[in-house]
């Protein structure tokens, strides 16, 4: 293996390590409640008709890195 290819391999590994670290940090951040609210659709009723509930959540085009969700009050 040449010195040039070793250097390229090193930088590729370093780039991957940095990206993994960035994704790990992002995974610790909860989803923005406004993002969730903006994706809610199709108001319906719960299974026992006791309450109203949103039946659909569409946030697939938001380039999410994490699905950690904090409790949303209200």
CB atoms closer than 10 angstroms to residue 33 = 14
**One domain, residues 23 and 54:** no
Confidence (pTM) = 0.45
Burial of 31 (0-12, 13-18, 19+ CB in 10 A): middle
pLDDT of residue 65: 60
Predicted local confidence at residue 1, as pLDDT: 67
Report the C-alpha gap between 74 and 54 in whole angstroms. 14
Domain identity same for 44 and 16: no
When divided into structural domains, the chain yields a total of 2
- At residue 74, the pLDDT reads 46
pLDDT tens by residue, the chain, 74 residues: 677 788 888 889 999 999 888 877 766 666 778 888 999 999 999 889 889 999 998 887 676 666 655 555 54
For residues 35 and 68, state if they share a domain: yes
Q: What is the rounded CA–CA span in Å between residue 30 and residue 69?
A: 5
């Amino acid at each position: 293996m040449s010195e040039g290819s070793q250097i390229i391999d090193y930088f590729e590994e370093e780039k991957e390590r940095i990206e993994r670290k960035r994704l790990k940090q992002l995974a610790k951040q909860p989803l923005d409640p406004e993002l969730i609210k903006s994706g809610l659709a199709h108001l319906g009723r719960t299974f026992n008709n006791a309450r109203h509930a949103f039946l659909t959540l569409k946030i697939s085009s938001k380039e999410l890195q994490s699905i950690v969700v904090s409790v949303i009050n209200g």
